[in-house]
Structure 1
Amino acid sequence: MERIAIIGPGAMGMLFSYYLKPVCSELFLIDYLDERAKLINEKGIRVEMKNQVKIVKVKATAHPSEIGIVNLVLICVKAYSTSEALKRANSIVGKDTLVLTLQNGLGNLEAIMALVQKEQVLGGTTSMGANVIETGFVRFAGSGETVLGQLDSGTEKAEKLAELFRKAGLEVKTTEKLESAVWSKVLVNVGINALTALLGVRNGRLLNYESSRMLLAEAVKEAEAVAKAKGIELNYANALERVEEVARKTSENISSMLQDIRAKRRTEIDAINGAIVREAERIGIKARVNEVLTHLVKALEQSYSERI
């Protein structure tokens, strides 16, 4: 892979920049803020890993038109910014460019497919974790598997990309069931993200309290029922057991939604719990707990300026 562009200088954008820079000829990090891009160009990306800080130099820019066509675009923005971010960077996408999303939530693949050809679109999930310390500085929060798949039939393009990721030192596998992989990850986010954001606690703490554990279980059961009604096969036999297992394994992690709430940013609630509510409505079933969680997180967002 010769030229790679990563859109979004957040935690995952910086982490993947760190891993992929050594295995491509050119890596570009696209931001929408010129000053932030300039700062990253000056200082590089700093990654704190195992109590060591490693620095990698990348070409950061807020002007995608300066880059030219790339071989791979990796989208690392929040779900609500997917369409806008790709439209801003449309000049870097050629007819043979692959566009990959590993973002949280539902709807990202559809947003990308509205702008590029189906055969160019790849998606998947990642269990790696990272927290932004400041602009250009990210703290590694845990390794994990990355799953890649493509929208059209087969796995040839996904396998080729997986080889590159493995060369970069990442744990990767491919799947022919991309929708299953995405939904399986979404159910984990449904159970963990909103509740940690509302309670202000680390992932594992959700299992310590009767009420939070009950709400987690009900949210996951609703999402599982929606997946089943849509005929989507999940990657595990018992959704609740899987979500609780992830909460335990990532017990000290601060979820991305809690990070957003703490920084008074917009969250991805609409692409996670909110998406479950919308999908439930489409097929005529209820997802009351997810609906309440969605409104509570939105109420938090709307009241940022009034917090005491």
Structure 2
Amino acid sequence: MEIKNVSIIGLGALGVMYGQHLSKRMPKANLRIIADKERIEKYQKNGVYCNGERCDFTYKQPDEKVEPADLLLFSVKNDGLDAAIESVKNHVGENTIILSALNGITSEAIIGNTYGMDKLLYCVAQGMDAVKVNNKLTYDHMGYLCFGEKEGNEDSEKIKAVSDFFTQKEVPYEIVPDMYKRLWSKFMLNVGVNQTVAVFGSNYGAIQQNGEARDMMIAAMREVMVLSRKEGIQLTENDIEYWLTVLSKLSPDGKPSMAQDLEAKRFSEVELFSGTVLKLGKKHGIPTPINDELYKRIKGIESEYVLQV
């Protein structure tokens, strides 16, 4: 199995960053960005920029007939996942490998319900510090994609195909033997850092140093750690320390997508983060006061959008 055709849906930070990286390393026609007509017209008129350079992408509308992708990357927001699943149908063939870089712990199962779990590798993106404002993305650290089967089987044909392709195209990656645990671990990070930076209206620098923001972030992560054990995922303090090390290497001026959403007065993925934690806490009878507080504060900020209209 050799990867030649790649399709990406979602030109958020990840889509732009990896799209631009790949566009410099493969034939233009072999990298397709899937988007509806209105979005494509906007991209072509205003441009899409990555670190000051205009991206030169090949765009495909969902109803266009194309050769199926060998690799399909989902990089939309969670509230756009259902529409994205419908939009990529012409890009999914018998041998298509699917990676989902969405936040949270459910996107793979949702995508697999339509296209089959046999096509999916579990995936998380980590270590990037991109900031996207309108049509312009900037970043210092690209980070890397972690991927693998849900549990074990590091030598699967899908893993070999993706790792060979990423090596050839100089995409930083890590093969993780227990990707479902890493998915939960990344969720724990997102619950802590995304929400904390957002409510403090700050950046990574605020949680890289001791203080109220860092303390709140770690406390929110610990609530996920406790709940993970009830769900059969054994996250520990070592997992928290791992992420603190990752965070320490990011640009202090960078910020996660939720903080960027609130600054732009867009509705965030709070239901995916503390919303999920609150539901799990209720399910298992475990209090989650830090995530309760984060949820209320983010919802409070978002409620102001309506008042300002």
Separation (CA, whole Å) in 1 of partners of 2:186 and 2:274: 12
1:150 aligns with 2:149: yes
Separation (CA, whole Å) in 2 of partners of 1:205 and 1:276: 23
Query: 1:93 — aligned with what?
Result: 92
- How has the CA–CA distance of structure 1 residues 206 and 6 changed in structure 2, closer, same or farther, with 3 Å as cutoff? same
Contact 1:195 1:293 in 2 (8 A): yes
Kindly, what percent of the aligned residue pairs are identical?
22
- How has the CA–CA distance of structure 1 residues 213 and 14 changed in structure 2, closer, same or farther, with 3 Å as cutoff? closer
Q: Which amino acid in the other structure matches residue 283 of structure 2? A: R
Which sections of structure 2, spanning at least 5 residues, go unmatched?
none
Q: Which amino acid in the other structure matches residue 134 of structure 1? A: N
Query: 2:228 — aligned with what?
Result: 227
Q: CA shift at 1:167, angstroms? A: 1.8
Q: CA shift at 1:90, angstroms? A: 1.9
Query: 1:27 — aligned with what?
Result: 31
Query: 2:115 — aligned with what?
Result: 116
1:18 aligns with 2:17: no
Q: CA shift at 1:207, angstroms? A: 5.1
Separation (CA, whole Å) in 1 of partners of 2:186 and 2:82: 21
Q: Which amino acid in the other structure matches residue 130 of structure 1? A: A
- How has the CA–CA distance of structure 1 residues 233 and 165 changed in structure 2, closer, same or farther, with 3 Å as cutoff? farther
1:6 aligns with 2:8: yes
Q: Which amino acid in the other structure matches residue 150 of structure 1? A: E
Separation (CA, whole Å) in 2 of partners of 1:103 and 1:114: 16
Q: CA shift at 1:82, angstroms? A: 1.5
Give the superposed CA RMSD: 2.5
Separation (CA, whole Å) in 1 of partners of 2:16 and 2:172: 17
Query: 1:299 — aligned with what?
Result: 300
1:238 aligns with 2:238: yes
Query: 2:248 — aligned with what?
Result: 248
1:174 aligns with 2:175: yes
Q: CA shift at 1:45, angstroms? A: 4.3
Q: CA shift at 1:142, angstroms? A: 1.2
Counterpart of 1:46 (choices 27, 43, 49) is: 49
TM-score, normalised relative to structure 1: 0.87
Q: CA shift at 1:182, angstroms? A: 0.9
TM-score, normalised relative to structure 2: 0.87
Separation (CA, whole Å) in 1 of partners of 2:271 and 2:191: 11
What pairs up with 1:134-149 in 2 under 5 angstroms? 134-135=134-135, 137-149=136-148
Contact 2:151 2:179 in 1 (8 A): no
Contact 1:41 1:58 in 2 (8 A): no
* Paired residue total: 301
Contact 1:11 1:138 in 2 (8 A): yes
More strand by share: 1
Query: 1:162 — aligned with what?
Result: 163
Q: CA shift at 1:166, angstroms? A: 2.2
Separation (CA, whole Å) in 2 of partners of 1:162 and 1:71: 13
Separation (CA, whole Å) in 2 of partners of 1:219 and 1:145: 24
Task: Extract structure 1 runs of 4+ deviating beyond 6 A.
Answer: none
Q: Structure 1 residues 12-21 or 53-62, which shifts more? A: 53-62
Deviations 1:30-85 (A, max 9, x none): 124x233134346764321xxxx444422123434343522221000012221221
Q: Which amino acid in the other structure matches residue 120 of structure 1? A: K
Q: CA shift at 1:222, angstroms? A: 0.6
Q: CA shift at 1:219, angstroms? A: 0.8
Question: SS of the counterpart of 2:216?
Answer: helix
Contact 1:38 1:60 in 2 (8 A): no
Contact 1:106 1:272 in 2 (8 A): no
Q: Which amino acid in the other structure matches residue 40 of structure 1? A: Y
Which sections of structure 1, spanning at least 5 residues, go unmatched?
none
Separation (CA, whole Å) in 2 of partners of 1:11 and 1:4: 17
Separation (CA, whole Å) in 1 of partners of 2:151 and 2:180: 12
Separation (CA, whole Å) in 1 of partners of 2:174 and 2:168: 13
1:72 aligns with 2:76: no
What pairs up with 1:196-275 in 2 under 5 angstroms? 196-206=197-207, 208=209, 210-234=211-235, 237-250=237-250, 251-275=252-276
Q: Structure 1 residues 262-271 or 201-210, which shifts more? A: 201-210
What pairs up with 1:182-197 in 2 under 5 angstroms? 182-197=183-198
Separation (CA, whole Å) in 2 of partners of 1:164 and 1:265: 35
Deviations 1:74-116 (A, max 9, x none): 0000122212211232232123222111222221112112211
Separation (CA, whole Å) in 2 of partners of 1:270 and 1:16: 27
